[in-house]
């Protein structure tokens, strides 16, 4: 499915917007302020993008007059009438979906997630997620209503999925996540207490996560660390990038396990857990993960060079339908028994096949 088709499905997969009608009385003595800034600060979950949409569509009045300019200055004693569009609550449905459960007890379970499965529901993913599957596995039959209005209005990404799925009403407790097209291990809490304790381990960085990636290029040092703040890309807000001016601190440790003619098999350990961290860090260091269409990994980096390398690269791309990134090892302390828990997941078939192709090229 193309990105265009995915985006279309993304928005068709969610109920239509509803209208919230608000009347706001600006306090006397209020210092003049831009109306978009004022409303986005005052109204819960209303980003400036959502406010500007209401302005553009003539849904905002000040003292009875329609205001369309975001730069309009409100002042003390103004009366603002505003219609804000919001998503209605979504019903989360337990679904009978096969799960590869590596470990389970009364408190948590460790799942080996396949590539292609979304971890938790979002604005465009109400069904067929890991959460839908685990709900069914835990014997939950009733639908659960979730309010997804705490989202980034630019891209529909939940700002704090941990907060949404850590509530008393929602099970299971999603402790951490993997990208849709990243395979491998993750832990899911069954109770609020266990969720809180596991989240604390992640916050304290006492959880060990090791990944394997097949990335373009062979010039990465044998081992080392990639350090760089990660923030939303200024070019595409659905993506992330290394930033020297903003973002959150991120550190990825790496070790090259094997070098091939055009790519490297790399082991990576996270010291922080930022969104798309490994993918962004490797791309920033000119070693994008093979198959990663968001960060340049689906582009033939050997086009126009030696014919054999060019043909090999094209073939590898044809066999890589997603970013070749796998969460291989997961280690944490069981929050109830205090046992040291270590789990390993073997590389999936698609990564093994690409490695075989690269290994064969070394023999030619």
- C-alpha–C-alpha distance, residues 5 and 275, integer Å: 24
State whether residue 11 is helix, strand or coil: helix
Torsion sign across C-alpha atoms 199, 329, 178, 220: positive
What's the distance, Cα to Cα, between the start and end of the chain in Å? 35
CA distances from 56 to 82, 105, 232 (A): 12, 53, 25
User: Among candidates 281, 268, 279, 264, which has minimal Cα distance to 227?
Assistant: 281
- C-alpha–C-alpha distance, residues 292 and 269, integer Å: 19
Would you call 179 a catalytic residue per the annotation?
Answer: yes
Omega prior to 147 cis, within 30 of 0: no
Omega prior to 344 cis, within 30 of 0: no
State whether residue 258 is helix, strand or coil: strand
Strands (E), 190-249: 208-216, 223-227, 230-232, 240-242
- Give the H or E element holding residue 325: strand 325-333
Q: Side by side, which strands form the sheet with 60-62? A: 18-25, 79-86, 60-62, 65-66
108 near 190, Cβ under 8 Å? yes
- C-alpha–C-alpha distance, residues 272 and 249, integer Å: 8
Task: Give residue for tokens 């899911």.
Answer: 188
Among 36, 179, 292, 350, which one carries the catalytic annotation?
A: 179
Residues annotated as catalytic (active site), given as ranges: 179
């Amino acid at each position: 499915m193309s990105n265009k088709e995915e985006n279309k499905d993304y928005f068709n997969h969610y109920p239509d917007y509803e209208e919230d009608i608000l009347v706001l009385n600006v306090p006397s003595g209020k210092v003049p302020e831009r109306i978009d800034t004022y409303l986005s600060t005052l109204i819960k979950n209303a980003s400036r993008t959502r406010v500007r949409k209401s302005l553009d569509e003539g849904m905002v009045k000040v003292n009875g007059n329609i205001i369309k300019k975001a730069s309009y200055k409100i002042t003390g004693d103004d009366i603002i009438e505003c219609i804000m569009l919001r998503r209605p609550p979504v019903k989360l449905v337990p679904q009978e979906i096969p799960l590869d459960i590596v470990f389970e007890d009364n408190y948590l379970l460790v799942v080996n997630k396949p590539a292609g499965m979304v971890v938790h529901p979002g604005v465009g993913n109400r069904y067929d997620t890991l959460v839908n599957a685990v709900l069914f596995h835990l014997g939950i039959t009733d639908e659960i209503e979730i309010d997804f209005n705490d989202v980034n209005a630019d891209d529909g990404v939940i700002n704090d999925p941990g907060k949404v799925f850590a509530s008393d009403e929602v099970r299971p407790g999603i402790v951490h996540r993997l990208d849709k097209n990243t395979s491998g291990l993750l832990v899911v809490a069954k109770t609020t207490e266990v969720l809180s304790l596991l989240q604390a381990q992640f916050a304290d960085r006492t959880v060990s996560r090791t990944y394997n990636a097949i990335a373009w290029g062979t010039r990465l040092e044998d081992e080392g660390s990639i350090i760089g703040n990660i923030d939303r890309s200024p070019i595409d807000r659905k993506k992330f990038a290394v930033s020297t001016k903003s973002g959150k601190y991120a550190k990825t440790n790496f070790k090259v396990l094997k070098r091939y003619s055009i790519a490297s098999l790399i082991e990576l350990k996270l010291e922080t857990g930022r969104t798309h961290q490994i993918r962004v860090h490797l791309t920033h260091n000119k070693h994008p993960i093979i198959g990663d269409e968001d960060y340049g990994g689906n582009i033939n980096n050997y086009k126009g060079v030696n014919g054999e390398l060019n043909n090999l690269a094209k073939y590898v791309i044809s066999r890589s339908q997603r970013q070749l990134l796998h969460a291989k090892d997961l280690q944490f302390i069981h929050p109830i028994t205090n046992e040291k828990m270590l789990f390993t997941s073997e590389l999936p078939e698609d990564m093994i096949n690409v490695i075989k192709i690269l290994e064969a090229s070394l023999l030619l």
